[in-house]
Every structure is written in structure tokens, then in C-alpha cells.
Chain A
Amino acid sequence: MKKLYFSRKQLCIPYSVFLVLFVFIPMLLILVYAFTQEAADGSLYFSFDNFLNFFTNSSKLQTLGVSVTVSFITTFFCLIIAYPVAYILARSGWKHTYVLLMLFIMPMWLNFVLRITALRELLNIIGFLGKYDYVNTVIGMVYDFLPFMILPLYNSLQKLDQSLLEAANDLGAGDVHTFLHVTLPLSMPGILSGITMVFMPSMTNYVVSETLGNSNITILGKMIEEYFSTYDDMHMGSMIAIILLVIIFLTMLLSGGFKENADETSSRGANLW
């Protein structure tokens, strides 16, 4: 009996099937739903109504504003907290820094809903719950997404060439100067990667806003859910999803996420997207 072997082309088949089934078809369906409406007899017709409706309806725009606000503040705090942590971890001379890193990453291994429920009780003890819905939501989001910020930052800072810092020092730059002109620019890929990793999911992670904000805050993710399950309007729901997609696409474009990795050193392996 002859030996069975596969060519590269054949090995690609499962992946192409996967891509078609789980990426192209769903995206296509969402696009179709977003730009159609249902006629009285159940047939679909092309329409821009959903799109126009989103940008002329004040509650939808307000919800968009709330989502962006929450995401922005969350991302900011993640960065503020994560950068020093990543910096210290990456630069410390200790042999077992990975233990510390693991400690920061470990909460990710616990079930997310469980953590948020526990956090809810904690906030109740502090007395925040029911009083500061926005603060609670941001606390929950930061807690949830902090590891996503630490990891890329740690990666890019760790791979930073020590000799560049020494060179800057030799050439007379002070610590602040070195940080602002050498470390910070070189860790930029990590920062951008972290920002995209935090900003995007916090636009839609409505479990946090529902649990910690007692459903007093509506973000876009929740709105999509309402359109699909309560309002029974998949067309508008799909349109909001598409709009969200475009926003995410734009943030990635702005943060240079699509740049080809031609310049290997500039990404430093931190660009996870």
C-alpha cells in the first residue's frame, strides 16, 4: 500500500473551510441584515434606514458616547497602571520575574463572570455599589482588561535593547530624558497593541456595566443584545454591530495596527493583532 501524504494545498482546505464557515458567511449575513429591511410579506429589500436611524437618534448616539467614554477611561487607567508594572517587571534584575507576571495574569484564568460577581460584593462592602455606576463599571473593566495591557507592554519593554539606554546615558541624557526619548518611543508598539486590546472589548463588554452598574448604564454591546432578543429587530442590531466594527477598524488604522511587519524591530513581537 502506498503511503498517504498531503500537499500544502490540501492542508489548506480545512482552514479555508473554517474561514468560509465562520468568518465570511457570518460577516456576509450581518452585512445583508444591516442594509436590508423586512417588507410586510417577509421579503427583504435594500435600505439605508438603519444607518440613518442610528445617526439621527439621540439615544443611540448617547449610548455610543457612553461606550466611547467608558472605553476611553478604562484604557487610560489600564495604561497608567500597567506601564509601571510592566516596566518594573521587565527591568528588574530578579531571576523569577515570571512569577510576578503570572500573579498579574492569573485572574484571567478564573471565570470572568465569577470575578465580576465577586467584585460586586466587594464594591457593596465599600459602599460604591448603587451609588457610582460609572466608577464601578470602569473599575470592573480595568480589573478585567488589565492583563491584556500588561502583557504586550511587558513584551515590548523586555525586548528593549539595554545598550540603547546605556548609549543615551553615555551621551548625557538624564533619566527622564532617556525615558521620554528612548524607552517610551520604543515601547510604542506595545502601548498601541495594549490600547487596541483594551479599547475594543470594553466597548461591548456589557456584563460589567449590567452587573456593577445595575443596568443603569447602557453600552453598545447591550444595545445590540436588546435589538436581537427584545426588540426582535435583527436588522438594526446588525447595523450597530457593523458600526462598531467600523469604529474598531478606525482605531486600529489610527494606531497603526495594519502596518506591515516589514520593519521587524519596530513591532518587537508585541503586536498581537
Chain B
Amino acid sequence: MNKLKRFFTLLCAAAMGFTCLLSFAACADQSDKQVLRVYNWEDYIDPDIITAFEEEYDCTVEYSTFGTNENMYNELKINQGGYDLVCPSDYMIMKMIAEDMCEPFSQEFRTNGVYSQYVSPYIRNLFEENGWTDYAVGYMWGTMGFMYNPENVDAEDVKDWKVLENEKYHKKSTLKNSVRDTYFYALACVYQDELQALASQLEDASITKAEYTAELKEIMNRTDQDSVDKAREYLREIKKSVYGFEVDSGKNDMVTGKIDLNFCWSGDAAYGIWEADDENGFTLAYSVPELVSNVWFDGWVIPKGGNRSLAEKFLNFISLPENAMLNMDYIGYTSVIAGEEIYSDYVEGGYAVEEEGEELQALLDAGEAMEYDVSYFFKEEGDSTEYTFYAYTEDMQGMLLAQYPTEEIVQRCVIMQYFDEAGNNRINMMWEDVKGAAVPLGAVIFIGVIVLALLGVFLISNYGYEWFKPRPKKGYYKVEK
């Protein structure tokens, strides 16, 4: 009994000591510095920016990362009040706002913040149209399309979503191993005729632009059983002719030449094109197919109970054009931040044709350079600057297109909505059916042969003696019973 007592005393002492230490540590943290708990995608910020923010505002940033929107959502549900700032994708932001999980931004931040000062008018309008302005600010954005190797793939072919059906690119293309993106791809293929009709209606002006956009959005967000079934059939068929499904190996497989065609996010395309050019010395290109594409973005929201004032400081800090550029360089995606500085340093500075005068004219005549207009992204109302410059055609089919698509492309892009639970279930079931496959006949036959062989060995080792009557070794004789 005495022993036990002493043991527990010891245990208690140890526990108390430990708690004291912990509380000291906690006190030390609290008394000195404020803490900002940021929850972001993996590899989605330049760590130097975090350090700079910590120094400037004398606070600590507790930075953690997630891999999928669903993981992030679950973590927020389990660990309520555990984060001050999270960075989900478009549809997840919609879901979180609908479920009242987000803290609205302060009036001050919305009107006078650095973010509101520099954010692109295109993104601002997008957020206002959809009613997210109070709860979310943008971070990175882009389109979806094909990264391709122009040596092996005809640029005309990749204007069509159905290019993967092409026998020429059999087992040379990949789809996304993510249900929402690949479902979008399937819809674009399945409803191609309808989309085509819609596009020609817009062309002959029988519908207005607003009607066109609304209709486009409706088609690409269908989740009814019929659409899902069609998508299932289509994907099962196309699965036979693709190289595989991937979420991050695709860009490397493009760079190493394993595949020629990669259905991808524009940021990955920018990364792949740069990497191929820089390290392997060959050219890759990007294309957003005609008729329709997906415009996506990731944005910051403050979960209920988060530290709003510090979170807003952080958002203002990363929205400074110089920090936005650092981030773009680091992760390869395009920031929603616009502004004069980014245009002149990053867009014009990075992509404008260097030649001038006659040389420029020669390039233009040869079709190697063209005028490129990004006004929709940079031009504020009442701004008199022209956001138009001459760019190399190669860039216009590559990096530049991936980073800053033209207005014409953006107008035929739709945001994927958050689907209701029934719709989600239908799509998930569809995905499971697409990913699952029957055991191939060859494998079944092979297993059959193995089983027969094992059975044979078993029988021979047990009864072989009776059947074959092996002769005893020399000098021995068999005793018959």
C-alpha cells in the first residue's frame, strides 16, 4: 500500500510539474505576443512572408496545412474556434457561408483595407455578384484547361474538350484524380452540342450576354441523375484511352515527356511550362478549350470566433503588391491582386515584347507577336491607363495565357457551385463506379493456373508416391507390406 501511495505521489508531482511548465509556456506566449492561427493549402504561401509579418506586427503565426477542402471542413467542425484564418476553394466558401460558419469582415477592412485597394476589379465584381464580399477575400485564381506538348499535339485539337477521344493521343493524356474537376470535364464533353448551340446563339445575338452566362452556369452545374449517368458512361469510356488519373504527378510527367496532354489547373500549367523551358529546354503550351471552362479561386475566410483584427492585418499584408508578387513567384499561381505595380513589374515587365520599331513590326507581320489586353483584370473605373501590350504568341499560348487569360476566355468560364447533398452523393457514386473496375480476365485465368499448380504440388507430394512409385535410391529396396 505504501509503495502504491508513493508511486501516486510521484506521479502527481510529475503531473503537476508538467502542468506548471505548460502553463508557463502558455503564459509566456500570451503575455508577449498575439497568435494568428492560419490554416492553408500545402505549399501555398511563401514562408518568408509569414516571417516578415511576424516581425512587422510582433506576433506569432501558427501555420498549419491541409490537403483537401473536405479535410479542412472536417477539421473546422471538430476543432471549432481553432483557427483565425482559412483558405478554402470557391465551392467550399459557398458551403461555409451558407452554413453560417464565417465571421464577416469589418467595415473598415472592406472599404479602406489594402486588399480592397489592390484587388482586381474582375475579382471584386465576381465576389459582389455572388454575394461573398462580406465573408471572403480572394487569394489565388485561375482557369482549367489543357497543358500540352505542341510538338506532338495539334494546337487546333486542344480547342475541343473531346480531344482525349482522339486516337492520336491514346494513353498520352491524363485526367484529374479529383471528382469535381473530372466531373466538370465530363459535363463539358457530354453537353457539347448544347454548349455549341448556346455559343452560336450568343454570336447571332439572339440571347444577351447575361442570359448566356446564366445558361452556361446552369449547364455546367447540373447534378441530376440523367447528367450524372451520362458523365459516368462518358468517363468509363474515356478511361480506356487515358494514361491515368493524377492530382500532382501530371505536371512532372509533362516535363519528363511521359505524357503529351494534361487536364490541369492554370497554375500547374504555368509551373510545368516554366519548368520544361528552364530545366529541359523544351516548350509546353496551355490551352483553354472553346465553348466553356471553369474559373476557380481560393479565398480567405475567418471562421466564427477567429481573431478578426489580426487576420485582417495579415490579409492586408499579403495583399501588398510586392508580397503578392513574392507569393506568385513562389507558388506559381496567379494572385487576385492587381494594381499598377503588378501590371508594370510582373505582367508587362515579364511578357512584353522587347523589340521596338521596325523589328517589332516584323514580328507582328510574321505573327510572332500580338496585342494582348488584360484591361478587364487591371482597369479600375475612371482609370485612364491602357493595359494593353505586345506579347509573343508563344507566351500567349503558354505562361501568359495560364497566368492572365484574356477577357474573351474568362467570359465563357463558370464557377462550379456547391452541390446539395443529394447531388454530391450522386456524383460520388458515379466517381466510385468510374474508378472501380472488374478484375481483368487475364488475372482471373492467372489465379486459376496458380491454384491448379498449387493443388498439383500438394497432390503429388501427398499421393505421388502411390501414383508414380518412385524407385528407391541405389542400394535400397522397398519393403512391401
Contacts and interface: CB of A to CB of B under 8 A. Distances in A.
Given A172-B472, A214-B174, A230-B428, A62 B244 contact: no
Contacts of A223: 432
Contact of A65 (B10, B246, B259, B438): B438
Interface residues of B, number: 50
Nearest to A210: B177
Interface of B, secondary structure class, is: helix
B481 interface: no
Interface string A32-68: 0000000000000000000000000111101101100
Given A60-B432, A65-B439, A130 B258 contact: yes
A76 interface: yes
Interface string A158-189: 00000000000000111001001100100000
Interface string A96-109: 00000000000000
B244 A181 contact: no
Nearest to B438: A62
Contacts of A5: 3
A129 B258 contact: yes
Contact of A216 (B244, B428, B432, B476): B244
A153 to B, nearest CB: 16
B450 A76 contact: yes
A66 B432 CA distance: 14
Interface string A60-89: 101101100100110010000000000000
Contact of A72 (B171, B245, B447): B447
Given A62-B437, A134-B440, 19 more contacts: A4-B6, A10-B7, A60-B436, A62-B436, A62-B438, A66-B436, A66-B437, A66-B439, A69-B447, A130-B258, A131-B171, A133-B244, A211-B249, A216-B244, A226-B432, A226-B435, A229-B68, A229-B70, A232-B73
27 contacts: A4-B6, A10-B3, A10-B7, A59-B436, A62-B438, A63-B436, A65-B438, A65-B439, A66-B437, A66-B439, A72-B447, A73-B443, A129-B258, A130-B259, A134-B443, A172-B473, A174-B470, A180-B461, A180-B464, A215-B177, A215-B244, A215-B435, A229-B68, A230-B70, A230-B428, A230-B431, A232-B73
Interface of B: 3-4, 6-7, 10, 67-68, 70-71, 73-74, 171, 174, 177-179, 239, 243-246, 249, 256, 258-259, 428, 431-433, 435-440, 442-444, 446-447, 450, 457, 460-461, 464-465, 470, 472-473, 476
